[in-house]
Structure 1
């Protein structure tokens, strides 16, 4: 099967040799409260990407190793990767607030460990795929969390730019859209209950403007995340005053977004490198 086919499957990706991280650190007691660290050869400090995997916010579907192929590709190109794992909604302690708290704690740990691994945190780019696209954008908007939210933490890691790969930024839209590949029930488990507005501190549009540039890379033939979701979010972000751009990759589905050498990943990596250099593309 051609790498740029919209029918590329997870089995196709997993059949490729999978590179391994250089180190793993723990930020909690759960086996999924870890970060895989990818460090390029040579002396640092190295530019760094915070990476967040998808899997419909469910540990049983995916973990951080799903991102190993593109993490390895970035490392080979001189870019370090802080690849976050977290408890999904199907794991004890996951859901609200645990899943969000895990991602936030893992991201903030970068500032503590940066010197140890020779990482340059002056300009951090967040990259997320699918549900991880939502979480990467959410990380960029943490300073906008409403007062009283248990997800507010002191001194959140500053994200300079976000590249979302087939993400689901608008949880309210996702919950109301049966055609999304994650289903609607998982969103209810993610945002929790017992609050007047469960989307106020969980759904990215409620945090707009993020005041962080955002690039959304989406396959036009994505059968898991409907293309209209990216289109709708970019319109909302732009209307709020954010620099948000949608990069549409033709003849591309969902898996290709995290497969090296595909047109989708080539475009995403171009955007990552430009963002790390402080250039607007």
Structure 2
């Protein structure tokens, strides 16, 4: 498999719904013509601190890059803070329902690997902790600069206290525990974290407690800290950091 995707022939996307809300949709992107065959489907979950103004369009180059190296790709949308039903529990319900829909699509081959950036990293690591993850065909998740520990993110006031806006309450509440990947360790599927060493939006230290606690509990978790990479390098197919992302995905789709 190529380590650098060819973006010259993007595949055409089709949009499907998994609910009645306009945000409950996902784009299906087939492997690019001429791309080498790759096993499975990559589900891209965008970030943006769970807020309404950030939608899936900024993750489209990333999604096309996975198609360019031969993967079937799903580019997911979900209800976000500021939208009816957005936040906890609605956003979590959307991710669960999204995966239920994808798992029934005959043209989206298993295994599924979830790739989430920033707030999307929180959502995919949340999935990794759910008892139904494997039932939905999830082989593993890749968190890119993910907000994988809500408590640490809260103490750092990341995104102008975006975590509290997302949950609707502070640490210690049932809603908080239901959304925090730290509450469901060890993960039920492998988790690969790819973080930029120069990320000042979601600093790599946000993941420290998650990784240590998950490993202590016997979880299959690893971290790739990419030198010279900032928050967005890990979703930019033109950067050297993206080869680390492709390697993480490939390690999960090729696992026995």
Q: TM-score range by the shorter chain?
A: 0.7 to 0.9
1:128 to 96, 116, 134: 116
Residue 149 of structure 2 corresponds to residue 170 of structure 1: yes
Query: In 1, Cα distance between the equivalents of 2:93 and 2:214?
Result: 24
Question: Is the contact between residue 48 and residue 125 of structure 1 (CA under 8 Å) also seen in structure 2?
Answer: yes
Alignment: residue pair count: 247
Shift of 1:191: 1.8
Shift of 1:49: 1.0
Residue 245 of structure 2 corresponds to residue 268 of structure 1: yes
The TM-score, its normalising length taken from structure 1, stands at 0.80
Query: In 2, Cα distance between the equivalents of 1:197 and 1:53?
Result: 25
Question: Is the contact between residue 46 and residue 119 of structure 1 (CA under 8 Å) also seen in structure 2?
Answer: no
1:119 corresponds in structure 2 to 108
Residue 77 of structure 2 corresponds to residue 85 of structure 1: yes
- CA displacement, residues 162-188 of structure 1 (integer Å, 9 cap, x when unaligned): 11100001112212212x2x122x322
Shift of 1:18: 11
**1:250/1:196 Cα in 2 relative to 1: closer, same or farther (>3 Å)?**
closer
2:139 to 160, 175, 178: 160
1:197 corresponds in structure 2 to 174
Runs of 5+ unmatched residues, structure 1 = 1-15, 145-152
**1:196/1:129 Cα in 2 relative to 1: closer, same or farther (>3 Å)?**
closer
Question: Is the contact between residue 103 and residue 137 of structure 2 (CA under 8 Å) also seen in structure 1?
Answer: no
1:220 to 183, 197, 205: 197
Residue 127 of structure 2 corresponds to residue 139 of structure 1: yes
The DSSP-based 3-state class of the residue aligned with 1:183 is: helix
Residue 230 of structure 2 corresponds to residue 237 of structure 1: no
Shift of 1:198: 2.5
2:13 to 17, 22, 36: 22
The TM-score, its normalising length taken from structure 2, stands at 0.88
2:30 corresponds in structure 1 to 39
The DSSP-based 3-state class of the residue aligned with 1:271 is: helix
Question: Is the contact between residue 49 and residue 126 of structure 1 (CA under 8 Å) also seen in structure 2?
Answer: yes
**1:262/1:196 Cα in 2 relative to 1: closer, same or farther (>3 Å)?**
closer
CA RMSD of aligned residues (A): 2.6
Runs of 5+ unmatched residues, structure 2 = 1-6
